[in-house]
Chain A
Amino acid sequence: MTRPDKRKIDETRKIEAKAGIIPRADGSAMFKIGNTIAYAAVYGPRNLYPKFLQNPQKGILRCSYNMMPFSGSGDRVRPGSSRRSREISMVTEKALMPVLNLEEYPNAVIDIFIELPQTDAGTRCAGICAASIALADAGLVMKSMVSSIAVGLVNDEPVADLSKEEEDIEGTVDIPIAVLPRTGELTLLQLDGEIKKEDLQKAIEIGKKACLKINDIQKKTLKDKYKQVNKDV
């Protein structure tokens, strides 16, 4: 069984990434996979107001995931948060939190804003990949990068990086994951669809491998930014 766009089962769509795209942010990145584009900006650690939200024990991480009004293939997306975007913001936060030393920033907040100018499939994963580059670009101490991809079962075969077309096939199982490449641990795991345990295992293995490749791209993206800086100097 071949995939609709002829990719191999463990092959991702084409990836491009760039760090430092938003000069006003403390750190920022663009991550493009296929036709999905995510921008991420990191602000902070900065003072958190109103004051009662502050935690004297450790800093707070706040994520916001948002689709631009014209980014979807159907009707206009109404501005403002939806139940979907709030849930994705929350799981993104949890996917990134384990790599930060929030104890270092008592009373402060780190804000991550993820915006999608163009969406196809795998937006939350692209958002996490962009945010991870942006956090590193902001110079924050991180235990690891976070790499993310959607895996799943398409026509009963475990595959990496589902396209929109594949998502829409009857019986497809969609499993977005985020991986800490250094340890292979997962920080995001969602699933919808029906799947056998063995297939889930296979899909996650494929996803972990894809994440290692994404991690290489993320690291290269950060290095490339400084190559450019060196040239400018």
Chain B
Amino acid sequence: MYENQKQHIINFLNKGLRFDRRKLDEYRDISLETGVSKNAEGSARVRIGETDLIVGIKLELGEPYPDSPDEGTIMVGAELLPLSNPEFESGPPRIEAIELARVVDRGIRESKVLDFKKLCIKKGEKIWIVIIDIVTINVDGNLFDASALAAMAALKDAQLPKIKDNKILYKEPTKDKLPLSAKEPVAVTVCKIGDYLIIDPTSEEEKVIDARLTVAITKEGKICAMQKGGTTPLSAGDIDKMVELAAKKCEELRKYLK
């Protein structure tokens, strides 16, 4: 269906160009703002080009899972709001939203940036549940990188509220932050179109990519989560190149995490 469009994009890539005159390994303009929703315990808004989304953190009290009685937990949700794209429809999250939420979840969980043990209030009885909600405002591609960056920034922005008689006093924040380490993962998605590797695809480009690989990388440079997408297989050589490119570009994103 998008074959003509794809050929047109590849013709441009042959000349080392993209429709918006970017280089193949160049991000669009990025901005990051924190504290964008006052009632959330933490929040951040990331814009990459015309892609615009908000991540908000809410904290709740809960019981630990039986297999990890001394650990708190996180929950990541993503809503691809019909407000943000004419192609999105109302209703429960579809697979695209579920994948987005799960990839962001894995980046955070597996990097161990958040100390789950310190989210335990009383062993076997009470823990903090950190709920991370991603909502899209305007969609023009690359939701993975934007969401992972905003989620990390929102976690850093969050302040724990007071607890009294087993209840959260949401209106009384303390000075305490979430138990975060310096590992701070960011995600870079590398896309393959024909023989080319590009980053930060627009919606137009996303429709015609053959494969994508999202790589979450910690501050120490360790890979902590990956997700391959698209229907074209990737060779070991492809993967090497994609991971290498992601490792190079993740430093650019990291600058926005103050």
Name A's B-contacting residues (CB within 8 A): 21-25, 35, 37, 39-41, 43, 46, 64, 66, 68-76, 79-80, 111, 113-115, 117-119
For residue B223, CB closer than 8 A to chain A, the reply is no
For residue B37, CB closer than 8 A to chain A, the reply is yes
The distance in angstroms between the C-alpha atoms of A125 and B81, with both chains bound, is 21
Not counting A70-B56, A79-B79, a sample of 17 additional A-B residue pairs whose C-beta atoms are within 8 angstroms of each other reads: A22-B83, A24-B50, A24-B84, A24-B138, A24-B140, A25-B86, A37-B37, A68-B133, A70-B37, A70-B58, A71-B37, A72-B39, A73-B171, A76-B131, A79-B77, A113-B82, A113-B83
The distance in angstroms between the C-alpha atoms of A21 and B54, with both chains bound, is 14
Q: A24-B140, A80-B92 are in contact. Are A64 and B60 (CB under 8 A)?
A: no
Residue of B nearest to A134 (CB): B83
Tell me the B15-55 residues at the A interface (CB within 8 Å). 36-41, 43, 50, 52, 54
Pick the residue among B57, B81, B137, B140 that contacts A70 (CB under 8 A).
B57
Residue of A nearest to B131 (CB): A76
The distance in angstroms between the C-alpha atoms of A66 and B138, with both chains bound, is 16
Q: How many A-B residue pairs have CB under 8 A?
A: 96
Among A25, A68, A80, the one with the most B-chain Cβ atoms within 10 Å of its Cβ is A68
CB atoms of A70 and B43 under 8 A apart = yes
The distance in angstroms between the C-alpha atoms of A139 and B131, with both chains bound, is 39
Among B54, B79, B83, B84, the one with the most A-chain Cβ atoms within 10 Å of its Cβ is B83
The distance in angstroms between the C-alpha atoms of A90 and B92, with both chains bound, is 20
The list of the 9 closest CB pairs from A to B, nearest first, reads A70-B56, A113-B83, A70-B40, A76-B58, A69-B133, A41-B83, A118-B37, A73-B39, A22-B138
The distance in angstroms between the C-alpha atoms of A22 and B140, with both chains bound, is 11
The distance in angstroms between the C-alpha atoms of A68 and B39, with both chains bound, is 11
CB atoms of B83 and A68 under 8 A apart = no
Q: A115-B135, A117-B37, A117-B54 are in contact. Are A76 and B60 (CB under 8 A)?
A: yes
Residue of B nearest to A66 (CB): B81
B89-106 interface bits toward A, Cβ cutoff 8 Å, 1 = contact, 0 = none: 010110000000000000
CB atoms of A39 and B83 under 8 A apart = yes
Complex contacts, A80 vs chain B, CB 8 Å: 92
CB atoms of B54 and A69 under 8 A apart = no
Tell me the B83-125 residues at the A interface (CB within 8 Å). 83-86, 90, 92-93
Complex contacts, B57 vs chain A, CB 8 Å: 70
CB atoms of A70 and B90 under 8 A apart = no
CB atoms of A74 and B170 under 8 A apart = yes
CB atoms of B58 and A75 under 8 A apart = yes
CB atoms of B56 and A68 under 8 A apart = yes
CB atoms of A117 and B36 under 8 A apart = yes
Complex contacts, A41 vs chain B, CB 8 Å: 83-84
Complex contacts, A114 vs chain B, CB 8 Å: 83
The distance in angstroms between the C-alpha atoms of A117 and B50, with both chains bound, is 19
CB atoms of A69 and B37 under 8 A apart = no
Pick the residue among A23, A71, A74, A113 that contacts B81 (CB under 8 A).
A113
CB atoms of B131 and A69 under 8 A apart = yes
Q: A70-B37, A75-B60 are in contact. Are A64 and B133 (CB under 8 A)?
A: no
Residue of B nearest to A113 (CB): B83
Residue of B nearest to A40 (CB): B83
For residue B193, CB closer than 8 A to chain A, the reply is no
Residue of A nearest to B138 (CB): A22
CB atoms of B138 and A68 under 8 A apart = no
B212 to chain A, nearest CB (A): 21
CB atoms of B38 and A118 under 8 A apart = yes
The distance in angstroms between the C-alpha atoms of A39 and B144, with both chains bound, is 23
Residue of A nearest to B168 (CB): A75
